[in-house]
Amino acid sequence: MTTDLGFWVLQTLNALQLSMLLFLLSVGLTVIFGLMHFVNLAHGSLYAFGAYVAATLAGTLGYWGGFLLAPVAVAALGAVLYYTLIRSQRRAGPMAQVLVTFGLIFVAVDATRLVWGDLPIGIAIPAVLDGQVALLGVQYPVYRLFIIALGLSVLGILTLILTRTQIGAMIRAGVDNDQMAACLGINVERMFFLVFVVGCALAGLAGAVAAPVLSVTPDMGLQILIPTLIVIVIGGLGSLKGAVAGSLIFGFVQTFGAVLLPTLSSVLIYALLAAVLVTRPQGLLPAKG
Amino acid sequence: MFTHTPLRLTTLAIIAAGSLAYAFAAGFYGLEILAEIAILAILVIALDLVAGFGGMVSLCHGALLGVGAYAFTVAANEAGLTALPAMILAVALTSALAFPIGAVCARSTGIYFIMATLAFGQMAYSFVFQSPLFGGDDGLSGAPRPDLSVVGIDLTDSRAFAVYAILLVALAYLVAAATLRSGLGRSLVGLHHNEKRLRALGLTVWRAKATAFAISGALAGLAGCLAAQHTQFISPGLLSWTVSGEALVVVILGGLGTLVGPLLGAILFVVLKHEISAITPYWHAIVGLILIAVVMSRAPGVFGFIEARWTARTRKPQGKEATADA
């Protein structure tokens, strides 16, 4: 099995697909943390909300309607959250933030149960992306390749924005030292809002693309939260490179662990996380220094 | 620093007398709730010890409780120990596990500490979930209750079990209070206020933190033993991080860093949970809203609120009045 090239190609693609999904989630969370020092445990709930919006709209507007509108809806929810909860808790310390967003998870899970019920909702893969394609000798679902491509394009766009544009330079300045950035005339408050909303939109996008491959359930936000947190802790809170590295490490360790060492697979990633925490408590590629 | 103010002693006496009186008056359902309160109470005492006094906000206490429950059940069922030695073994094992966790996490503070404890908790969760020895997803059943027939007490009776559970809460409280009044407890509070100063004074910071974490872990393990004996069935869900999160919620709602407050919080939480879930299946949402309201208003929890009012009344009224709505 392990000597077959097809096996490695297949598992590599699986790992990449998981990594890209996690990247979409963790990049928003980590940049929000880097900039605002805010930990949003409800980030997974935003992802679940995105999946529900996509699943609901798929019935009337088709898949692409949901795909485009889910990030918008989640961004709108994020904007509301920002002005009601997030902004006032920004300087309240990590425990208050953890508690408020933990309370939000409770509310979000029950709200989705109330609106959409307890039963899983499934949506169909759009016709364009349905089916399989031959790639290096293996048959691979087109939709999963689409997730990989989407993740890579978001990564490319974010990298360009952060490194080549003025707003990117402002964000980098804010991560480095938000007070100094404010002194230099950057409207830090507006930037915080913008980054938070974009982070939420990416979580919604992740929910929308995940909806056809995973079943949409009220606790899907809780299930994805821990992997997302692991990704940003391994990678280093606040850094884009860290989110990329963390997502790839998680995706590959999880996927290859599950097929090569099935008895150890889930402990493996936590052992890796513990090793990172012991040797480099700030993560592999921290935002600062 | 932790002191027993008259208000705290009075509250403790009321809780102790009230719960014992209830244990003798309540019916079967009430006794089940009482045992549930006792388990949560021990867990939140353990958590308040490190989070409230040491500033170590842990999200792995649910996992420590679960480790205690599993260690107890396996020691009793597989190794054939009787309940009491199995309990001692389980508590010692949980404590021995908490020490290195505390030592590793002691290097980080704030959100990094929270994340690190979350990671260790999840590690324990997935280990138990996957390991065939622990029954995986199906859990384990058949944890024995201690045999006290020598002194004429039958713990399979739910009234006797409730009293036994209350006594264990008292034991846990005494251990926590004694820890806080010892040199270690004073160092812990000092560390919370100014770690650099304590380091300069020659304290081995990581060791103090890890020791406090180990004591807290022992108490969480005790709560786990009690949980296993109560339902006589355990599942990996006990180790889930949401259990730790809920324990933290109870500590906050009760009053962080008061030791008495979390006891009140545990009573309120379990009673409210049963009352609200009888009305609506969405009780988590209501708890979530209360939690958000309490944290946003910066109210110091139920007991913190009472304490602030009490000191404002007994001492000369000072400039600032606490106007927080709990």
Q: Is B324 on the interface with A (CB under 8 A)?
A: no
Average pLDDT, chain B: 88
Q: Which residues contact B71 (CB under 8 A, 6 or more apart)?
A: B89, B90, B93, B94, B221, B224
Positions of E strands within chain A:
132-135, 138-141
Instruction: Report strand pairing: A132-135 vs A138-141.
Output: antiparallel
- Integer CA distances (angstroms), B40 to A187, B95, B259, in order: 46, 18, 13
Per-residue pLDDT averaged across B288-293, rounded?
Answer: 89
Distance from the B286 Cα atom to the nearest Cα atom in chain A, whole angstroms:
7
Question: Which chain B residue shows the shortest CA-CA distance from A38?
Answer: B111
Interface test with A, best of B282, B292, B294, B298 (most A CBs within 10 A): B292
| Domain contains B324 | no
Query: Cβ contact (<8 Å) for B123 and A273?
Result: yes
pLDDT over 90 (residue B46): yes
- Integer CA distances (angstroms), B260 to B14, B56, B109, B293, B307, in order: 11, 18, 26, 22, 11
| Domain contains B1 | no
User: Into how many domains does chain B fold?
Assistant: 1
* pLDDT band with cut points at 50, 70 and 90 for residue B320: very low
Distance from the B284 Cα atom to the nearest Cα atom in chain A, whole angstroms:
5
Judged by DSSP in three states, A45 sits in helix
CA angle in degrees (0–180, nearest 5) for A77-A79-A85: 95
Tracing tokens 């309490």 back to the chain, one arrives at B294
| Domain contains B245 | no
For A102, the token pair is 């933990």
Query: Cβ contact (<8 Å) for B249 and A89?
Result: no
Determine if residue A238 is left, alpha or beta; phi over 0 gives left, psi from -120 to 50 gives alpha, anything else beta: left
pLDDT at B208: 93
Helix residue ranges per DSSP H, chain B = 6-25, 28-47, 61-77, 83-105, 110-130, 158-181, 183-193, 195-200, 205-231, 241-254, 260-279, 283-296, 301-314
| Domain contains B277 | no
pLDDT at A46: 93
pLDDT at A288: 63
- Cα–Cα nearest to B170, from B23, B318, B323: B23
pLDDT over 50 (residue B321): no
- What are the tens digits of pLDDT across the range B213-246? 999 999 999 999 999 999 888 988 888 888 999 9
Under 8 Å between Cβ of A139 and A9:
no
Query: Cβ contact (<8 Å) for B122 and A98?
Result: no
Q: What secondary structure letter does DSSP report for B316?
A: P
Residue B72 lies in domain:
6-239
pLDDT at B317: 52
- Scanning B267-306 for CB atoms below 8 A from A yields 281-282, 284-285, 287-292, 295-296, 298
Q: Is A278 on the interface with B (CB under 8 A)?
A: yes
Please report how many Cα atoms fall inside a 13 Å half-sphere around the Cα of residue A270, on the Cβ side. Answer: 19
| Domain contains B292 | no
Q: Judging by beta carbons within 10 Å of its beta carbon (0-12, 13-18, 19+), is residue B150 exposed, middle or buried?
A: exposed
* pLDDT band with cut points at 50, 70 and 90 for residue B324: very low
Query: Cβ contact (<8 Å) for A100 and B291?
Result: yes
Query: Cβ contact (<8 Å) for B288 and A105?
Result: yes
| Domain contains B82 | yes
Looking at beta carbons, which residues of chain B come within 8 Å of A89? 295-296
- What are the tens digits of pLDDT across the range A80-133? 999 988 888 888 888 888 889 989 999 999 999 888 888 888 788 887 778 788
Q: What is the residue type of A123?
A: I
Low-confidence ranges of chain A (pLDDT < 50): 289
| Domain contains B265 | no
pLDDT at A2: 61
- Scanning B116-145 for CB atoms below 8 A from A yields 116, 118-120, 122-123, 126-127, 129-130
Please report how many Cα atoms fall inside a 13 Å half-sphere around the Cα of residue A152, on the Cβ side. Answer: 9
Instruction: Report strand pairing: B233-234 vs B140-141.
Output: antiparallel
pLDDT at B323: 45
Query: Cβ contact (<8 Å) for A94 and B114?
Result: yes
Query: Cβ contact (<8 Å) for B130 and A230?
Result: no
pLDDT over 90 (residue B70): yes
| Domain contains B247 | no
Query: Cβ contact (<8 Å) for B112 and A237?
Result: yes
CA angle in degrees (0–180, nearest 5) for A57-A58-A62: 115
Query: Cβ contact (<8 Å) for B119 and A278?
Result: no
**A133 phi and psi angles, rounded to 5 deg:** -135, 145
Tell me how far apart the alpha carbons of residues B204 and B227 are, in angstroms, rounded to a whole number.
35
